[in-house]
C-alpha cells in the first residue's frame, strides 16, 4: 500500500474508533419542530417537503446525462460510484420528503439512511481520484455497510454519536485529503461541495430566524434543501463533457 492509501485508511479507522468510544449523544426532540409548518394542497409542511423535489430532479438529470455519456469517463470504477451517487441523491429527496411529511424519529431514519449513502459515494469518489482506484473500491465496500449502520444503531439504542462522527468526521477527512493530495484535472468540485454544505448547515441552524426575516416566505430548512441540490450540480459540473 502507498503512503496516501495508508493515510486515508487510517483516517477511516480513526473515525470508526471515535464512533465506538465517544460518549453517547441522544436525539434532541426539538429538532423535529421546524419553522415552516404550512400545509399546501393537502401536503403537510409543504415547503420543507416539496423542496426535496430539487434533489430528485437533480438526481434524475444526473442519471440521464450519465447514461447519455455526457460525463467524462475517468475510470470504470469511478463511473460506477458516480452512477450510485446520483441514485443516492434521488433517495435523499425521497427520504427527506417522507420525513418532512411527518417529522419524528422513525421517519428521520429514512432521511439519514439516504444521506449516509451520499457521504459514502462522495468519500469513495474522493479516494478513487485523489488516492487510488483500489482505495476508492475499498472505501465503497466498507462504508456502504458501515455508514448506514450508524443510523441503524441510533434507531436501535438512541446513540447518535456514530452518525455524527461519520458526518462531521467525514467532512474533516475530505478537507484533509484535499489539502494533502495532488489535485487532478478531471475531478468533481469537492471544495465547492464543502463550502455549500457548510452554508446549508448554517441555514438549517437559523431555520426560524430566516423564516422571520423573510416575512414567512421561506425558512432556513427549505433553503438548506435548495442549497444542497445546487451543491450537487456544481460538484459534478467539472465532469461534464465540454462541447467544442
Residue 9 is predicted with a pLDDT of 92
Q: What is the mean pLDDT of residues 158-177?
A: 95
pLDDT in tens, 97-121: 999 999 999 999 999 999 999 999 9
Q: What is the mean pLDDT of residues 196-206?
A: 96
- Taking 60 as the threshold, does the pLDDT of residue 244 lie above it? no
Give the cell for residue 68: 447519455
Q: Cα separation of 47 and 44, whole Å?
A: 9
Amino acid at each position: 500500500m502507498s503512503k496516501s492509501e495508508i493515510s486515508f485508511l487510517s483516517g477511516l479507522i480513526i473515525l470508526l474508533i471515535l464512533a465506538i468510544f465517544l460518549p453517547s449523544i441522544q436525539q434532541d426532540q426539538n429538532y423535529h419542530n421546524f419553522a415552516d409548518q404550512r400545509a399546501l394542497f393537502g401536503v403537510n409542511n409543504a415547503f420543507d417537503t416539496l423542496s426535496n423535489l430539487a434533489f430528485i430532479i437533480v438526481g434524475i438529470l444526473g442519471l440521464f446525462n450519465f447514461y447519455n455519456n455526457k460525463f467524462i469517463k475517468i475510470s470504470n470504477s469511478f463511473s460506477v460510484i458516480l452512477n450510485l451517487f446520483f441514485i443516492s441523491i434521488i433517495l435523499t429527496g425521497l427520504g427527506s420528503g417522507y420525513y418532512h411529511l411527518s417529522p419524528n424519529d422513525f421517519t428521520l431514519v429514512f432521511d439519514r439512511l439516504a444521506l449516509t449513502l451520499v457521504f459514502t459515494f462522495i468519500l469513495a469518489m474522493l479516494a478513487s481520484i485523489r488516492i487510488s482506484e483500489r482505495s476508492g473500491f475499498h472505501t465503497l465496500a466498507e462504508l456502504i455497510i458501515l455508514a448506514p449502520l450508524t443510523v441503524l444503531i441510533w434507531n436501535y439504542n438512541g446513540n447518535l454519536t456514530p452518525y455524527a462522527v461519520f458526518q462531521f468526521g467525514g467532512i474533516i477527512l475530505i478537507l484533509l485529503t484535499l489539502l494533502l493530495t495532488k489535485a487532478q484535472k478531471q475531478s468533481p468540485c469537492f471544495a465547492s461541495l464543502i463550502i455549500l454544505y457548510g452554508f446549508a448547515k448554517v441555514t438549517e441552524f437559523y431555520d426560524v430566524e430566516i423564516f422571520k426575516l423573510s416575512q414567512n416566505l421561506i425558512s432556513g430548512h427549505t433553503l438548506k434543501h435548495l442549497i444542497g441540490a445546487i451543491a450537487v450540480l456544481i460538484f459534478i459540473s467539472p465532469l461534464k463533457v465540454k462541447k467544442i
